[in-house]
Amino acid sequence: MSRSLRLITGLYLKISLLTIAVGFLLRIVLLFNGQTTDLGFSFGEWCEIYLLGAVNDLCAATIGFVFLWLFSMSVSETKYRKPWGYIILGILAAAFCYVTFCNTIFDEYGSVAPQVASGILGFWAGTFALRLFLKGFRSYWTTVWFALIITLYVGSIVFNGLCEYFFWNEFGVRYNFIAVDYLVYTNEVVGNIRESYPIVPLVLGLILVTFAITWYLFRRDLAHADDLKGWRWKAVAGPGYIAAMLLSVWLLQFNTRFQDSENVYVNELQANGLYKFYDAFVKNELNYSQFYITVPEEQAEAFVHGVYGSTGDNLHAVRSEEPEIRRNIVLITIESMSASFMGHFGDTRELTPVLDSLYDKGLAFDRVYATGNRTVRGLEAVTLSLPPCPGQSIIKRPDNAGMHSTGALLRDKGYTVKYFYGGNSYFDNMETFFSGNGYEIVDQRQYEPEEITFANIWGVCDEDAYRKVIRTLNEDARSGKPFFAHVMTVSNHRPFTYPAGKISIPHDSKSRNGGIMYTDYALGQFFAEASKQPWFDNTIFLITADHCASSAGRTEIPLEKYHIPALIYAPGFIEPQHVGGIVSQIDLMPTLLWLLNMNYDSHFYGRSIFDEEYTNRAFIATYQDLGYLEGDIFTILSPVRRVEQYRVVPTEEEPYDLQPLETEQPEQVARAIGYYQTSSEWNKR
């Protein structure tokens, strides 16, 4: 009994210390990462980062130890004795036959799930039969699996540290809702990783480090797997571990109250990445009334009805005294195009000459803010014209068909409505959403082989996509009906690969600068070709971004990381001018519709900047923090009914700094609540 307890206790301590050591080294590395822009921590904050961080890592290691604990509990001779051995073998054989020869839930799931389930059960049943009838095989089997599980533990700890580094390098935070969201789309994500990083050296290095650590720490333990047999030590260790695991779960949740610093890096660095992943997973949908500060529903509704002159769920009439102008509409949402990349906004690298040129030829918006930091948020903003909802985007939610979208509105007015995407539109649930809201979809599946000159894991290059758009619109124009084309680009996305010989940055450099420059180049090629088409002179273009390249910063919602370009371009129809006031991404399509004197019944929260009742404000959010910017006051609504307000102050080093308000501005808090509370309630899906 004592040998067994020493073995299992030693394993727990070594795995816990390894987890803490990797977490300690990771925090040091992340401190010097380019995404970490503020290290002005107090002594107490340094203690939180490293001491509370170590406690959080220990708790995560304790919870993660459950798989090795379950294995150790299963090591026994009793299960091979009559009649238990034959009963277990019968159950496994029956399960294998059922999954292999009958229609099961795995068949409903589809793909390779039935084959995987059948293979696992067949392997399990076959190996159990060997152990049941060949007694000498049992000890060998236990030792091999014991060694394999320990090696997997070590590899997982090192692998997670490596993944957290790369995730932070991309987003400037620990695992969050993005990591959960991407996990669903393994093909694209794995392909993106393979094309972005030197996978072979990384994998080989990971394997070597894993084996080295396993051999150094556990080589003496591996030969004693048989010590795990017996029930006396399990009667002592089992309840003890369960108590420790429950305590760890409580402590991880309790420690989140210390992750409320004004400096987001303090919060992120002290947290445990795996717990952050779990936390993001369970919060993928947040009920506004349950988690956020509210006012009486009738008060919130009265506010919105007063702003828009609306009734019900913000139904209001948009009318023009002038006759409607029947122009084609092309909306281009550019992947990850921050305003800061443009020469117009101060960048000196000449990455966006085409976009900069267009900014001087159309109705250009100088202070447009994206609603979020994901493509689905940008698509939601320009399609539904709603403030961002907490948790999952509406595009990703079930039952999101039949909404009041720009596509449905224009289809009712006789437009041909299409959504163009260079990749597979099943990604991010785009296919379900757009097809259910009045759009025909043209994605990579509609491309003929000769139409693709270059593609990566995300889809065809922007040039191929734009050529497909022009060919399709030429066909649509022949029908005599006006068209609305929403084009979503893909090239400005890691791995940042594109056709060779197009721009001065080599195509295999895999640099963001190259992705930006090629995206801009392809946009220029599109307009050069589109201008030759007979429909061009009767078309109005809206060019904007889905979101910025990065949303990392020292605050939960760093405003400068949500600043995107946007312009409406129609030579001979729109006179060049610049709009300097704050504009939300949700206002762009209503502004375009206003320029065409469109009459429609609207549920939009966005409105034209030319509307006499328009207020310069923007809605800016993460998946859980809901921001409202008006004037120089930025209000953030967060879960646990928390409200924070900042004053936007221009600085020399940064575009502006967010300074906490000493005195709350209740009017702006009330407006933020009114917008978000009603929109979340009226647009539940």
Question: Tens digit of pLDDT for each residue in 54-86?
Answer: 999 999 999 999 999 998 888 887 788 888 888
High-pLDDT (> 90) share of the chain, %: 63
pLDDT of residue 315: 97
Give CA torsion, residues 182, 183, 187, 192, to 10 deg: 50
| Residues 505 and 609 both lie in one domain | yes
Q: 11 pLDDT exceeds 70?
A: yes
User: How far apart (Å, rounded) are the C-alpha atoms in residues 56 and 93?
Assistant: 42
Tell me whether residue 501 is in a domain.
yes
User: How far apart (Å, rounded) are the C-alpha atoms in residues 231 and 641?
Assistant: 49
User: How far apart (Å, rounded) are the C-alpha atoms in residues 177 and 164?
Assistant: 14
Structural tokens at position 228: 């795990």
CATH number for position 375:
3.40.720.10
Question: Tens digit of pLDDT for each residue in 348-384?
Answer: 999 999 999 999 999 999 999 999 988 999 999 999 9
Band (pLDDT 50/70/90 cuts) for residue 225 is: confident
Ranked by mean pLDDT, the top range of 4-8, 125-129, 385-389 is: 385-389
Burial of 662 (0-12, 13-18, 19+ CB in 10 A): exposed
Tell me whether residue 21 is in a domain.
yes
pLDDT of residue 427: 87
Reading phi first (left if > 0) and then psi (alpha if -120 to 50, else beta), residue 324 is in: beta
Q: What domain range is 235 assigned to? A: 2-76+135-282
Q: 262 pLDDT exceeds 80?
A: no
Q: 555 pLDDT exceeds 60?
A: no
Task: Write down which residue in 259, 282, 305 finishes a domain.
Answer: 282
Query: What angle separates helix 232-255 from helix 66-74, to the nearest 10 degrees?
Result: 170
pLDDT of residue 270: 92
pLDDT of residue 449: 94
High-pLDDT (> 70) share of the chain, %: 95
pLDDT of residue 238: 85
Q: 235 pLDDT exceeds 90?
A: no
Residue closest to 130 by CA, chosen among 120, 140, 115 = 140
Residue closest to 170 by CA, chosen among 202, 201, 206, 197 = 197
| Residues 551 and 506 both lie in one domain | yes
| Residues 411 and 523 both lie in one domain | yes
Question: Tens digit of pLDDT for each residue in 91-142?
Answer: 989 988 988 888 766 655 555 677 888 888 898 888 888 888 888 788 888 8
Question: Tens digit of pLDDT for each residue in 175-188?
Answer: 876 677 666 555 66
49-58, 215-224, 549-558, 578-587, range with the lowest pLDDT: 549-558
Tell me whether residue 565 is in a domain.
yes
Band (pLDDT 50/70/90 cuts) for residue 156 is: very high
Q: 643 pLDDT exceeds 60?
A: yes
Q: 553 pLDDT exceeds 60?
A: no
| Residues 361 and 475 both lie in one domain | yes
Tell me whether residue 101 is in a domain.
no
pLDDT of residue 560: 86
| Residues 321 and 250 both lie in one domain | no
| Residues 263 and 329 both lie in one domain | no
Tell me whether residue 128 is in a domain.
no
Task: Tell me the residue length of the chain.
Answer: 685
Tell me whether residue 108 is in a domain.
no
Question: Tens digit of pLDDT for each residue in 481-499?
Answer: 999 999 999 999 888 999 9
Task: Write down which residue in 594, 619, 635 finishes a domain.
Answer: 635
| Residues 396 and 528 both lie in one domain | yes
Question: Tens digit of pLDDT for each residue in 312-326?
Answer: 999 999 999 999 999
Q: What is the 3-state secondary structure (H, E, C) of 485-548?
A: EEEECCCCCCCCCCCCCCCCCCCCCCCHHHHHHHHHHHHHHHHHHHCCCCCHHHEEEEEEECCC
CA angle 498/500/504 to nearest 5° reads: 95
Average pLDDT value for the chain: 90
Question: Tens digit of pLDDT for each residue in 237-255?
Answer: 888 999 999 999 999 999 8
Task: Write down which residue in 635, 654, 674 finishes a domain.
Answer: 635
| Residues 223 and 324 both lie in one domain | no
Structural tokens at position 289: 């009334």
45-49, 312-316, 596-600, 672-676, range with the lowest pLDDT: 45-49
pLDDT of residue 182: 66
| Residues 278 and 362 both lie in one domain | no
Question: Tens digit of pLDDT for each residue in 498-537?
Answer: 999 999 999 889 899 999 999 999 999 999 999 999 999 9
Residue closest to 281 by CA, chosen among 347, 136, 407, 184 = 184
| Residues 278 and 364 both lie in one domain | no
User: How far apart (Å, rounded) are the C-alpha atoms in residues 493 and 507?
Assistant: 13
Which residues are bridge partners to 484 per DSSP?
A: 329, 417
| Residues 384 and 244 both lie in one domain | no
Count structural domains, the chain: 2
Band (pLDDT 50/70/90 cuts) for residue 161 is: very high
Tell me whether residue 654 is in a domain.
no
| Residues 72 and 221 both lie in one domain | yes
Alpha-helix runs per DSSP H in 581-665:
588-595
Tell me whether residue 681 is in a domain.
no
